[in-house]
Amino acid sequence: MSNVDVARVLVDLADLLEIQGANPFRVRAHRSGARTIETLAEPIAGLVEDPERSPEELSGIGKDLSEKIISIVLTGKLDQLDELREQVPAGVVAMLRIPGLGPKKVGVLFKDLGLESLDALEAAATEGAIAELKGFGAKTEQMILEGIGLARHGSTRTWLSTARVAVDRIVEDLSKLDSVTRVSLAGSSRRLKETVGDLDVLATVSEGVSSSDVMAALAGHELVDEVLAQGETKQRVRLLEREGGGLELDLRVVPEASYGAAMQYFTGSKEHNIVVRRRAQERGLKVNEYGVFSETDEDGPAVAGRTEEDVYQAVGLPWIPPELREDRGEFEMAESGRLPELVTVEDIRGDL
């Protein structure tokens, strides 16, 4: 059993528990434990077999998860998972991959309509049976029909190199607008992940300037297929099919003074952001995408937020390079002043 195998069992268990309506924090604990095992620098089997050691020594893994991990390593399976699999068909878990369908709604589809597969779900949606359910409507039904292909196909991530071709053009074109002061790439593409699930772009406007100009420009951009959602500060669009296969792009527009906080938030990762915000809480501060604020004076002036550096400084850290923002040890490195110097293109020697 490799670390990835063990992690997979815990993730599957989390999915099933979630559909069954388990405590969300319990579900999260399983996912977090899975991540810990997957990113562990040593084989989990070796740790389990060492009589001096136990998975409990890993932070985020307690007595329960430790016992489960030991069982998985020693027997190759987990009884609790097998039992849950008998209660919840695989097709129901597959429904979670449809965008807009979460555990609650999937649970209703399974329990109330008895749907056990994507095929059955598609048939029910086509007949209009979904829209009649409480909490569902015509839009949800349409969303299911559009998303069911994604769920069948599995995850659809795009190579960064492909995605960059499209997003670089969009960033460049939006930058030319008079109403924006700057446009930056954020999200996993800024973190230089090999593949991206979607694209994230941040635009800033001068204080008091409306966001509608930028959004209208993006909506009318030659690479944009359709606008999926739009609000005051946020817009989500789907790109044309050719450049990376219907990639989705999120645009966020914030005032100039929030640039640093917004970049920090929008660059992620989610796990990294949670730690940043928890550190803020420990210091009597509150971090959001608009800035860093005092917990006791939330409406008061921002303590930080104009640059990423001052956001990190407010929570007692040096600026952390985006490539490291995964909550995989970068906080310990930053805390002790041992952040590595990353390799850059200039470091590479040879014929390219």
Q: Which residues bind DNA (CB under 7 A)?
A: 17, 23, 25-26, 28-30, 33, 59-66, 98-106, 134-141, 187-188, 197-198, 200, 229-234, 250, 265-270, 273-274, 277-278, 280-281, 286-290, 298
Q: Token pair of 55, please? A: 């998975």
Beta bridge partners of 294: 285
Nearer to DNA, 1 or 61 (CB): 61
- Give dist(CA 123, CA 274) in Å, integer: 40
Q: What is the CA radius of gyration of the chain?
A: 23
Nearer to DNA, 288 or 313 (CB): 288
Nearer to DNA, 153 or 270 (CB): 270
Element (H, E) at 196: strand 195-196
The minimum distance between CB 229 and DNA, in angstroms, equals 4
DSSP 183: E
The minimum distance between CB 168 and DNA, in angstroms, equals 18
The minimum distance between CB 67 and DNA, in angstroms, equals 8
Element (H, E) at 45: helix 44-49
Q: How many CA atoms lie within 13 A of 87 on its CB side?
A: 15
Q: Token pair of 212, please? A: 């509608």
The minimum distance between CB 282 and DNA, in angstroms, equals 10
Nearer to DNA, 236 or 350 (CB): 236
Backbone angles phi, psi at 194, to 5 degrees: -65, -40
Q: CA 318 from chain center: how many Å?
A: 24
The minimum distance between CB 164 and DNA, in angstroms, equals 16
Nearer to DNA, 75 or 281 (CB): 281
Q: Which long-range contacts (CB under 8 A, 24 or more apart) does 141-144 make?
A: 143/98, 143/99, 143/100, 143/101, 144/98, 144/100, 144/101
Nearer to DNA, 244 or 349 (CB): 244
The minimum distance between CB 352 and DNA, in angstroms, equals 30
